[in-house]
C-alpha cells in the first residue's frame, strides 16, 4: 500500500483511509458490529492504516466499534477521532469546544477506543463561541501530556486554519472534496500547500452518488441522513445525473468503476491528499483500494476537471443550519 504524509511533523498513513462513520451512524440502520470488526481487520490486512471516527458517531458507538476492532493492532494503525459536537436534549447536534469539554471528550474517546493516545484529534466543526487559539492551546497541552499526537481541523475556513496553526501545528484538515464539490480548490488547498498541512477529503464519492448506484428512484432508509440533504432530493438526483455520466464514460474507457475514477482523480491532485471513503461491504473496500492502481492520463484528468466545472450541481450539500458551521 502506498503511503502519504499529512503535514510535516511525521504523520504517515496509507494513501487511502477508511471512514468508519457509516458502520454505525448516518446511513440507516447500523451494520452488524461483528461484521464491521471483521471488515476493519480486512482493511488492515489489505494495507489500510488510517481509520476515521468521532465521538458523535452513534453517538459513541462508532468509537467503541473502532476501539474493539483495532485494540490488538494498535501499533500498526493511525486512529483519527473528533471532538466538539454533541447531541443535545432535543436530539439535535450542538457544539462545545471549551477547553474543559475537550478534556472530558479526550478521556471518553481514549476509553472507548481502548488506547492511551489519539493519533489525530480533530475539532469536528469550528465553535464560534470559543476562540480557536484556546482550542489549539488545549490540544497543544494534550500533545505535551502524550494523549494526542497530531492536531486536526474539520471543515474550517482558511483564517481559522492560520490562527490555529500559529498556536500549534495543524497536521491535517478534513473537508468534503469530490468531483461534485470542488470549492476547496478556491482557497483551502492553496492555503494547505503553503502551510504544509495534509488534506483528508471526506465523502470523496459524493455520499455514494458518484458511484452511479443512486438515481432519482432510489429510496433511503428513514434514518438515513441523506433524506435531509437538499442535494439528495429526487429532483436534485435527477438533475445532477450529468456528473455521473461524465465519470461513467471515463470508467468505461479505463475498464474501471466510477468509484475508482472518482478516487483516482482525487489522489492525482496532490501527494498529500488522503481520501477516506466509507463502506460496510468488503467488495467496495476492495474496489476503493483498487483505485490506487489506476492511473489517469493528463488528458483524462483535464477532461474530468474541465467538464465537471461546467456542470451546474443542483441542491446545497447541507441544510442551511449545518452549512453555517463550515468554512468559518
The DSSP annotation for 128-141 comes to TTS-HHHHHHHHHH
Residue 227 gets which letter from DSSP?
G
Give 76-101 as a 3 state SS string.
HCEEEEEECEEECCCCCEEECCCHHH
Say if CB 44 and CB 12 are below 8 A apart.
Answer: no
The three cell numbers of residue 151 are: 492536531
Q: Domain spans of the chain?
A: 3-207+269-293
Q: Are the C-beta atoms of 205 and 284 separated by less than 8 Å?
A: no
Q: What is the distance, to the nearest Å, from the Cα of residue 42 to the centroid of all Cα atoms in its chain?
A: 20
Rounded to an integer, the average pLDDT of 169-182 is 98
Told to judge if 209 belongs to the known catalytic residues of this protein, a careful annotator would answer: no
The confidence score (pLDDT) of residue 96 equals 97
Please choose, from the candidates 177, 176, 179, 200, the residue with its C-alpha nearest in 3D space to the C-alpha of residue 250. 179
What is the model's pLDDT at position 91?
87
Tens of pLDDT, residues 3-43: 999 999 999 999 999 999 999 999 999 999 999 999 999 99
pLDDT of 321 reads 86
Catalytic residue, from 57, 121, 122, 318: name it: 57
CATH number for the domain formed by residue range(s) 3-207+269-293: 3.20.20.100
Task: Kindly state the average pLDDT of the residues 285-313.
Answer: 98
Whether the CA torsion 59, 68, 50, 286 is positive or negative: it is negative
294 within 8 A of 254, measured Cβ to Cβ: yes
Q: Left (φ > 0), alpha (ψ -120 to 50) or beta: where does 155 sit?
A: left
If phi > 0 it is left, if psi is from -120 to 50 it is alpha, else beta; for residue 250 that is alpha
Q: What is the mean pLDDT of residues 301-311?
A: 98
Amino acid 328: pLDDT: 65
pLDDT exceeds 70 at position 70: yes
Which set of grid coordinates corresponds to residue 39?
471488515
Report pLDDT for 326.
86
Rounded Cα gap, residues 234 and 232, in angstroms: 6
Those residues whose C-beta lies under 8 Å from the C-beta of residue 9, and which sit 6 or more positions away, are 150, 169, 171
Of 39, 6, 4, 5, the C-alpha closest to 20 is: 39
- Render pLDDT for 89-117 as a digit per residue (tens, 0 to 9): 998 899 999 999 999 999 999 999 999 99
Query: pLDDT, tens digit, for every residue of 184-242?
Result: 999 999 999 999 999 999 999 999 999 999 999 999 999 999 999 999 999 999 999 99
User: Average pLDDT over the chain, rounded to whole?
Assistant: 97
Amino acid at each position: 500500500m502506498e503511503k502519504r504524509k499529512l503535514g510535516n511533523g511525521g504523520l504517515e498513513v496509507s494513501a487511502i483511509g477508511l471512514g468508519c462513520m457509516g458502520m454505525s451512524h448516518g446511513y440507516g440502520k447500523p451494520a452488524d458490529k461483528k461484521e464491521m470488526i471483521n471488515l476493519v481487520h480486512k482493511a488492515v490486512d489489505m494495507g489500510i492504516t488510517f481509520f476515521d471516527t468521532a465521538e458523535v458517531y452513534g453517538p459513541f458507538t462508532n468509537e467503541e466499534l473502532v476501539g474493539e476492532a483495532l485494540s490488538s493492532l494498535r501499533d500498526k494503525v493511525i486512529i483519527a477521532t473528533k471532538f466538539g459536537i454533541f447531541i443535545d436534549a432535543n436530539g439535535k447536534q450542538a457544539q462545545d469546544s471549551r477547553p474543559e469539554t475537550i478534556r472530558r471528550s479526550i478521556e471518553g474517546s481514549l476509553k472507548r477506543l481502548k488506547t492511551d493516545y489519539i493519533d489525530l484529534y480533530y475539532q469536528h466543526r469550528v465553535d464560534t463561541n470559543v476562540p480557536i487559539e484556546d482550542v489549539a492551546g488545549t490540544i497543544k497541552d494534550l500533545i505535551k501530556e502524550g494523549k494526542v499526537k497530531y492536531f486536526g481541523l474539520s471543515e474550517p475556513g482558511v483564517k481559522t486554519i492560520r490562527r490555529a496553526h500559529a498556536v500549534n501545528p495543524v497536521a491535517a484538515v478534513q473537508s468534503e472534496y469530490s468531483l461534485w464539490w470542488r470549492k476547496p480548490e478556491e482557497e483551502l488547498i492553496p492555503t494547505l500547500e503553503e502551510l504544509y498541512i495534509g488534506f483528508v477529503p471526506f465523502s470523496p464519492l459524493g455520499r455514494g452518488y458518484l458511484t452511479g448506484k443512486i438515481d432519482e428512484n432510489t429510496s433511503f432508509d428513514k434514518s438515513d441522513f441523506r433524506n435531509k440533504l437538499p442535494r439528495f432530493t429526487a429532483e436534485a438526483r435527477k438533475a445532477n445525473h450529468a456528473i455521473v455520466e461524465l465519470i461513467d464514460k471515463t470508467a468505461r474507457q479505463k475498464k474501471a468503476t466510477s468509484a475508482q475514477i472518482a478516487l483516482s482523480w482525487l489522489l492525482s491532485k496532490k501527494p498529500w491528499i488522503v481520501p477516506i471513503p466509507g463502506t460496510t461491504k468488503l467488495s467496495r473496500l476492495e474496489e476503493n483500494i483498487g483505485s490506487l492502481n489506476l492511473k489517469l492520463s493528463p488528458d483524462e484528468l483535464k477532461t474530468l476537471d474541465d467538464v465537471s466545472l461546467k456542470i451546474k450541481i443542483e441542491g446545497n450539500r447541507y441544510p442551511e443550519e449545518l452549512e453555517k458551521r463550515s468554512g468559518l
